[in-house]
Amino acid sequence: MKVEITKSAFEKLRKKAPWVYKNEIVKFPECIPGDIVDLVYKNEYVASAFLNPLSKISARVLSFEKTHIDKEFFKNRIKKAIKKRNFLEKITNSYRLVHSEADFLPGLIVDKYADYLVVDITSAGMENFKGIILEILIEIFNPKGIYQKADKIRLKEGLENENEILYGEMVDEFEIIENNKKFITNLITGQKTGFFLDQRKNRKIVGKYGGKKTLDLFSNAGGFGIYANAPFTKFVEISASACSLIEKNCELNNLKNYEIIKTDVFKFLESEKEKYDLIIIDPPAFAKNKNAKKGALKGWKYLIVNSLKLLEEGGYLALFSCSNAINQKDLLDLALSSSVIDGSFLEAVEFLKQDIDHPYLINIPNSLYLTGILLRKETL
Ligand SMILES: C[S@@+](CC[C@H](N)C(=O)[O-])C[C@H]1O[C@@H](n2cnc3c(N)ncnc32)[C@H](O)[C@@H]1O
């Protein structure tokens, strides 16, 4: 089936951007959501793609060359993604195997937790191949279990949003071993596919700057604070289940002196008076899109200004944004305006991004979704 695209879409696809929006499709044919079509411009072949008229992102490119899209096609792509990540086996038992478009598999996310796989299928096209994808994963890994952790994005593709065991059996509590640190996490009830795997490298980098006292804000399972391994650590996290994981993880990693505060970080900062030499701010995405950016910037400014008040001179502040609506430049601007209020200087010590198993392809700007900076506070 041929589908004509507009000139602007053609120009984007020439630079290997993989998405075509609804208003860039000249005319939708009769189709089943997720059907594979040939995208054409002036009737000339441009790419093969999943087509879904229900979704704002109406076409997701699978290939820029005419090819058979069958089990072999998906198996080769999955094997390529796995090979690229082999070296991570020396560092951790848990990492992302397939990261959707950034591994040329639009709408397929697969995370490996040792013998268990957690899968998130976010496009109607990939859903149509779910049976084949499962066969491939079972052939390659022979896993104990495969679990589907459904993302809300599925609703935008007209798919149901159900979590379920797809194969074998699943454990809920699972022990991640990462850079000789251990973390208990919940694969079934935990956030994301069970753990913030994308912060692995950053936990290690930021952890090295740990001093006497760490404040880990939005701590989830306690990753940053545990890596920093300070004589005293305070964790602030709103989710009760995450707080119980922090406690288990502190014990597992022999952190002796710590406090877990189950509250809203914004409230906590209203009254906190203690000083710290490492503060981490790793909130959820306050702005999922550009429209929500203004409110998100206001929230961020409050967090940074109030954290700077608690930071010792010579101390470190790590900022992370997991939405590309707030990018690294925004974080730097926020840090600068906050330091003016604080009367301090900030040195940018590290520029950070998501770990390598969540690839950032430069032809897909959105694939850079997690950015961070590590700053050092100076006063004269
Ligand atoms: C991006 S995750 C943190 C990941 C963590 N730093 C790690 O490396 O695993 C954000 C966390 O903030 C928590 N959270 C969300 N809103 C919050 C709030 N207002 N106050 C405290 N915690 C909050 C969420 O429950 C989630 O665990």
Give the CATH number for residue 12.
2.30.130.10
Looking at residue 79, its pLDDT comes to 98
Any ligand 1 atom below 6 A from CB of 223: yes
Q: Which of 13, 38, 63 is the last residue of a domain?
A: 63
Protein residue with least CA distance to atom 19, ligand 1: 264
Distance 220 CA to ligand 1 centre (A): 5
Residue whose CA lies nearest to ligand 1 atom number 15: 284
Both tokens of 321, joined, read: 């944004």
Tell whether 116 and 162 lie within a shared domain. yes
Residue 236 CB partners (closer than 8 Å, separation 6+): 215, 216, 217, 218, 219, 261, 263, 265, 268
Domain CATH for 212: 3.40.50.150
Query: What's residue 287's pLDDT?
Result: 78
If asked whether residues 126 and 34 sit together in one domain, one would say no
Ligand 1 touching residue 260 (CB < 6 A): no
**Ligand 1 proximity of 265 Cβ (cutoff 6 Å):** yes
Distance (Å, whole) CA 373 – CA 348: 7
Q: Which domain, by its residues, includes 185?
A: 174-378
Question: Rounded to the nearest whole angstrom, what is the distance from the C-alpha of residue 217 to the centroid of ligand 1?
Answer: 7
128-132 CB contacts, 8 Å cutoff, 24+ apart: 128/32, 128/34, 128/35, 129/74, 130/166, 132/71, 132/74
Cβ–ligand 1 contact at 88 (below 6 Å)? no
Are 68 and 82 within 8 A, CB to CB?
no
Q: How far, in Å, is the centroid of ligand 1 from the Cα of 223?
A: 11
Does one domain contain both 100 and 201? no
Q: Are residues 33 and 121 in the same domain?
A: no
Whether 36 and 125 have beta carbons less than 8 Å apart is answered as yes
Ligand 1 pocket, 196 CB below 6 A? Answer: yes
Last-in-domain residue among 137, 170, 203: 170
Residues 306, 355 share a domain: yes
Q: Is the pTM of this model over 0.85?
A: yes
285 and 372 share a domain?
yes
Q: How far apart are CA 37 and CA 39, in angstroms?
A: 6
**C-alpha 281 – ligand 1 centre gap (Å):** 9
- Give the domain-ending residue among 138, 170, 202: 170
- Cα–Cα nearest to 122, from 150, 97, 95, 145: 150
Instruction: State the pLDDT at residue 194.
Output: 79
For each successive 10 residues of the chain (380 residues), what is the average pLDDT?
Answer: 97 96 96 97 98 97 97 98 97 97 97 97 97 98 96 90 94 94 92 89 98 97 97 98 96 97 98 98 87 91 98 98 94 98 97 98 94 95
Tokens 């596919």: give the residue.
193
Same domain for 251 and 116: no
The predicted pLDDT at position 242 comes to: 95
Residue 237 Cβ < 6 Å to ligand 1: yes
Domain shared by 108 and 187, yes or no: no
Q: How many CB atoms lie within 10 A of CB 315?
A: 25
Distance CA 125, CA 130 (A): 9
Residues 191 and 305 in one domain: yes
Distance 269 CA to ligand 1 centre (A): 15
Ligand 1: does its nearest atom lie under 6 Å from the Cβ of 219?
Answer: yes
Note whether 180 and 213 are same-domain residues.
yes
If asked whether residues 188 and 108 sit together in one domain, one would say no
The domain that holds 155 is classified in CATH as: 3.30.750.80
- Give the nearest ligand 1 atom to 265 CA: 20
Identify whether residues 22 and 99 lie together within a single domain.
no
C-alpha span between 242 and 123 (Å, rounded): 29
Q: What is the pLDDT of residue 335?
A: 98
pLDDT at 288: 73
Ligand 1 contact, 199 CB (< 6 A): yes
Distance 332 CA to ligand 1 centre (A): 21
Start-to-end C-alpha separation, the chain = 68
Q: Domain count for the chain, please give it.
A: 3
